[in-house]
Structure 1
Amino acid sequence: MFALTEKTIRSSFINVSLRERNSLVVPGDLAEVDWRARDYYGWRDPKTPLLGFVVAELDGEAVGLQLRQAEQPTRSRPQCSWCCDVTLPNDVVLFSARRAGKAGRAGNTVGTLLCAGFECSRNVRRLDPPPYLGFDAAAARDRRIDALRTHVDGFFRDLRDGV
């Protein structure tokens, strides 16, 4: 992922109003982020804990989405839809996001299960112990990274294009 600035992040959101975009609290640690190890950039606003914000690269541009966490907890221990991490090192919650444009203004939303703190990029890069002799852990990690990018890309395109 390419490096993001506060200006790029603010202008990237496609499913929020202008007022919501201007009131976003963008993290101040953008200069310290290792962008090469990120497939998307996500954060939570401590003042509004049910909101999450995610920015990803789509067709060479930054695209941002505001997500809302469901207030009801899930009944079981779910698996993240993006990183598909089965070892569950962190909480996974249900988020919903308004679609972009007219559909979003009409109340059309999409839900997905995601890591609560947006740890997917870290999860897929973890080198797990090999399950058997001769297992290529690095190749498995590369496949997880590719799968994460595919899942993020599909979710963003669905919300942006309605496809």
Structure 2
Amino acid sequence: MRPLTEPEVRESFANATPDEERLIALPLDFVLLDWDHLDFLAWRDPRTRGRGYLVAEIDGAPVGVVLRAADGSSRARSALCNVCHTMQPGDQVALFTAHKAGTVGEKGDSIGTYMCADLSCHETVRLAAPLAPNEVRGSVDRRLDGTRLRAEAFVARVLDPVRSDA
């Protein structure tokens, strides 16, 4: 991902209301981010419990979405993150929803997906997990590409009504 400035990140949010835009808190380590190793930018709001953000490049431009984490925790023993495709303990995966952009989002339409609860998919996919006997794992590059594409696809689904109007 190309390096972004704070104003670029703040201006990128497609589904944020003016009040939400005002409340966006960037990650505490924003100035220290290693942009060369980010496929997309995702973080939990350090000030507001239950809120997160995802910024991906769509058609060469940064596009961000405001996410809401579902209340409560899963009773499942394990769960799969739909972005990085990593199986994790159930309490480390959460349902995140995003209001759709445009008028349909203002009317309450939203979409959701299960993601790493701390939104660290870009880091999780880089971890080398031990293999089970006879397990074959795809290359790290393929896993990284897949994770990036799935994050971009989620953002594109949030934009869907806006993109069709253009």
Using the size of structure 1 for normalisation, the TM-score is: 0.87
Distance 1:125 1:15, change over 3 A: same
Shift of 1:20: 1.5
Secondary structure of 1:114's aligned partner: strand
| Matched residue, 2:21 | 21
38-47 or 62-71: bigger deviation: 38-47
1:4 to 2:4 alignment: yes
Q: Structure 2: 5+ residue runs without aligned partners?
A: none
Q: Match for residue 152 of structure 1? A: 151
Question: Percent identity, aligned pairs only?
Answer: 35
Equivalent position of 2:118 in the other structure: 117
Cα drift, residue 87 of structure 1: 4.9
* Secondary structure, aligned partner of 2:83: coil
Mapping of 1:127-138 within 5 angstroms?
127-129=128-130
Matched, 1:74 2:74: yes
Amino acid at match of 2:47: K
In structure 2, the partner of 1:93 is 94
Please tell me whether the aligned partners of residues 4 and 30 of structure 1 are also in contact (alpha carbons under 8 angstroms).
Answer: no
Q: Take 2:120 and 2:160, find their aligned partners in 1: how far apart are those partners? A: 26
CA contact (8 A) 1:51 1:67 kept: yes
1:12 Cα offset (Å): 0.4
Give the RMSD, CA atoms, in angstroms.
Answer: 2.2
Give the match for residue 54 of structure 2.
Answer: 54
Specify the SS of the correspondent of 2:64: strand
Does 1:35 pair with 2:26? Answer: no
Q: CA deviation at 1:51?
A: 0.6
Structure 1 regions of 5+ residues with no counterpart?
Answer: none
